Structures are given as C-alpha cells and as structure tokens.
C-alpha cells in the first residue's frame, strides 16, 4: 500500500497502476475468443444520450460508465442507470473492476439532492444506488447512503430503492446501524467470486465478512430482501460455484445474480472460461432448489441488470439466451 502515499488526492489509477494481484503469466494468457452468446443489444442512441446528459448535468456518476458495463447501451436506452455515489475513486484494487483506484476527495454534500432530482427527472420507478469503497471515511460511506435514501424518498415517495453497498469492513457495526435505521427496499452486496480466488481477485475483502454483513442485515431487518451477486469465468470450477451458492443460502440471502466476467483491460484478471448459457440455466435450477427467492443467471447478467424486473421476479437471465 505504500504506493498510496505517492498518490495525490484525486489522482485516478487504472489498469496496471491499479491491479497488483494478477501474476504476469496469468495476465499474459492468450485471449479466449468471445463466443456468440456474449453479445450487446443495439442501443437507442437518442435515449442513451438523453440519459447521459441528465446524469452529467446533475454532477452524478454511474457504475455503468465507471466500470465499463457491457449492458450500458441497453440500460441507458431503456432510461435506467445505476448511480455510483461517494465519488469515482475507490480505495480498493479489485482485479476485475475498471473503476479508478486512489485517494478519494471529500464527499459532495449536494449529491443526495442531485440524485433525488435526477431520479425524479428520469421518471424512474426503481433505482439502484451503489458506490466505490471508501475505507477512508469514519462510517465507510454508510451515512451518505442513508442521506441519499432519505432524499429520494422525500422527493419521490413511491420509488423503490435498491442499494448495492461496499463491505464496510472498517466499521461494520456503525454502518449496519445506520442502514438498519434508514433501510432501502432491497439490500444488496456482491460476494463476487469463490473463496479460493479472493486473494487475487478481491484483495482487501473477505468472503466471510461479506456474508456476515448480509446475514446480520437480514436478522436485523427480516422485512427487507437481501441480494448478492457473483461472476464466473475467473478460474472457479462449477463445484466451487455451487458450494458458494450454498454458503450464500446458509447466510439467508434471498436473491442472487450470476453473470459472465468480462475483462476490462489486458491488465485486469484474464477470462479463464466462457460459461455456456446451459450452465447458467443449471446454476439457476440449483439455486431455486436451494430455496433462493430469485435467481438471475445468464452471460450478461449483472447485479443491477434490469433490477426492477428482477425485483418483480422476472427471469432476466433467460431472456438473454433466447
Ligand atoms: S470495491 Fe467495488 S468499485 Fe472498488 S475496485 Fe472493488 S469492485 Fe471496483
């Protein structure tokens, strides 16, 4: 971490400046050719531009843009987006993620009001709010999430709010108390990958901690659905995926998403395999048998992909393989 000392507040480190846990021989693996089921839907350009203008004019960020999500054109074309609060610089170096690493600056106190105004302007019925990790803040950003929830509820009381949170490792109790007090409609936190790969793929995080965060939230707020997501194609086996699903179910997680990992740059973790849509369907079958209330499993599925449809129990994974 000594690198951080040389980084000025506001500097954005990406690619090889950010990712430090992928061995050279891994990174140098030959590219796997993308199969035909990895495809992006054609965008509605004018709608997409309109959404971008609305978001940027309100000084907001989206994880869609910052993490180079492959579904951006489809979602923006549908008039939806996943807002990323607490700035666009993260204090973690996850090897699958394209969000910049560095020393974040101060929180924008206007962000909750700007977000609420944007949600109203876009006429959203369901909104997903996520953030970078802010290990530098005393409450790791939980208070700002609560401010955003309150601002949206005040401006648009009927809008459903899903929050996709960091792991709040520096201050779990404090963060939980804040979000138990001011709950969303869906509490989401991604476990991302199987335990064996955490060290290289999600340094700075611990699977047990993430599962405990979700379980403790469910115990405190049994009325609020909990949700989590993972990617496949990072080097895990199908058996490891099923073991992880069982661990997630054992921690009373209600809903899950499973999608194909796609490499943001050659410096990030390599794609080790492209999982076939039939296997995603099998994960979904096994997940339902385990008792998950909802499983969204498909190559292009992401945690907030058509999150409103997921919330309505619609299978967004299936529609992709047809
Ligand atoms: S904590 Fe989230 S935003 Fe930060 S690097 Fe990891 S995945 Fe990306």
Per-residue pLDDT tens over the stretch 47-74: 888 889 999 999 999 998 888 888 888 8
pLDDT value of position 48? 86
**Integer Cα distance of 137 and 83 in angstroms:** 20
Contact present, 132 and 299 (Cβ < 8 Å): no
Residue with tokens 């967004």: 316
pLDDT value of position 174? 98
**Integer Cα distance of 205 and 225 in angstroms:** 23
Q: What is the pLDDT of the chain when averaged over all its residues? A: 93
**Integer Cα distance of 98 and 78 in angstroms:** 23
Average pLDDT over residues 205-223: 98
Mutational pocket test of ligand 1: of 104, 132, 137, 304, the residue with most ligand atoms within 8 Å of the beta carbon:
132
**How many A from CA of 131 to the centre of ligand 1?**
8
Average pLDDT over residues 164-168: 98
**Integer Cα distance of 195 and 236 in angstroms:** 9
- Judged by DSSP in three states, 182 sits in coil
Contact present, 25 and 235 (Cβ < 8 Å): no
Average pLDDT over residues 123-128: 95
Supply the residue whose CA is at minimum distance from atom 6 of ligand 1: 94
Query: Does the global pTM surpass 0.85?
Result: yes
User: Is 70 exceeded by the pLDDT of residue 4?
Assistant: no
State the DSSP code for 43: P
Mutational pocket test of ligand 1: of 13, 92, 103, the residue with most ligand atoms within 8 Å of the beta carbon:
92
**Integer Cα distance of 135 and 54 in angstroms:** 29
| Nearest atom within ligand 1 for CA of residue 131 | 3
**Integer Cα distance of 167 and 173 in angstroms:** 11
With a 6 Å cutoff on the Cβ, whether 133 touches ligand 1 is yes
Q: Identify the CA nearest to 131 among candidates 189, 53, 71, 78.
A: 189
CA distances from 321 to 77, 163, 256, 283 (A): 20, 27, 18, 14
Residues in the chain: 322
Q: Binning pLDDT at 50, 70 and 90, where does residue 29 land? A: confident
β-strand partners of 161: 127
Q: Identify the CA nearest to 84 among candidates 176, 151, 165, 188.
A: 165
Tally of CA atoms within 13 A in the half-sphere of 73 that contains its CB? 9
User: Is 80 exceeded by the pLDDT of residue 320?
Assistant: no
Supply the residue whose CA is at minimum distance from atom 2 of ligand 1: 132
Contact present, 61 and 88 (Cβ < 8 Å): yes
**Integer Cα distance of 37 and 27 in angstroms:** 24
């Amino acid at each position: 971490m000594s690198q951080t000392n040389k980084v000025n507040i506001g500097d954005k480190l990406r690619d090889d400046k950010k990712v430090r846990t992928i061995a050279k021989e891994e990174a140098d693996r030959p590219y796997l050719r993308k199969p035909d089921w990895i495809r992006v839907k054609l965008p509605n350009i004018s709608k997409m531009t309109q959404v971008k203008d609305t978001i940027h004019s309100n000084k907001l960020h989206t994880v869609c843009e910052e993490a180079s999500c492959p579904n951006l054109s489809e979602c923006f074309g549908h008039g939806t987006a996943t807002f990323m609060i607490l700035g666009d610089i993260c204090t973690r170096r996850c090897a699958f993620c394209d969000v910049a690493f560095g020393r974040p600056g101060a929180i924008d106190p206007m962000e909750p009001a700007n977000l609420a105004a944007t949600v109203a302007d876009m006429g959203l019925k369901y909104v997903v709010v996520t953030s970078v990790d802010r290990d530098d803040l005393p409450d790791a950003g939980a208070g700002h999430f609560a401010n955003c929830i309150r601002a949206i509820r005040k401006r648009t009381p009927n809008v459903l709010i899903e929050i996709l949170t960091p792991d709040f490792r520096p201050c779990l109790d404090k963060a939980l108390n804040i979000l138990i007090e001011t709950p969303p409609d869906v509490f989401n936190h991604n476990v991302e990958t199987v335990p064996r790969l955490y060290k290289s793929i999600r340094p700075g995080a611990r699977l047990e901690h993430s599962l405990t965060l979700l379980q403790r939230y469910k115990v405190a707020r049994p009325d609020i659905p909990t949700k989590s997501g993972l990617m496949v194609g990072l080097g895990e086996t199908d058996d490891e995926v099923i073991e992880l699903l069982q661990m997630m179910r054992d921690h009373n997680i209600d809903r899950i998403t499973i999608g194909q990992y796609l490499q943001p740059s050659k410096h990030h973790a390599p794609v080790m395999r492209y999982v076939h849509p039939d296997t995603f369907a099998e994960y979904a079958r096994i997940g339902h048998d385990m008792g998950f209330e909802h499983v969204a499993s498909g190559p292009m599925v992401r945690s907030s992909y058509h999150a409103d449809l997921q919330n309505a129990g619609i299978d967004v994974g299936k529609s992709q393989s047809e």
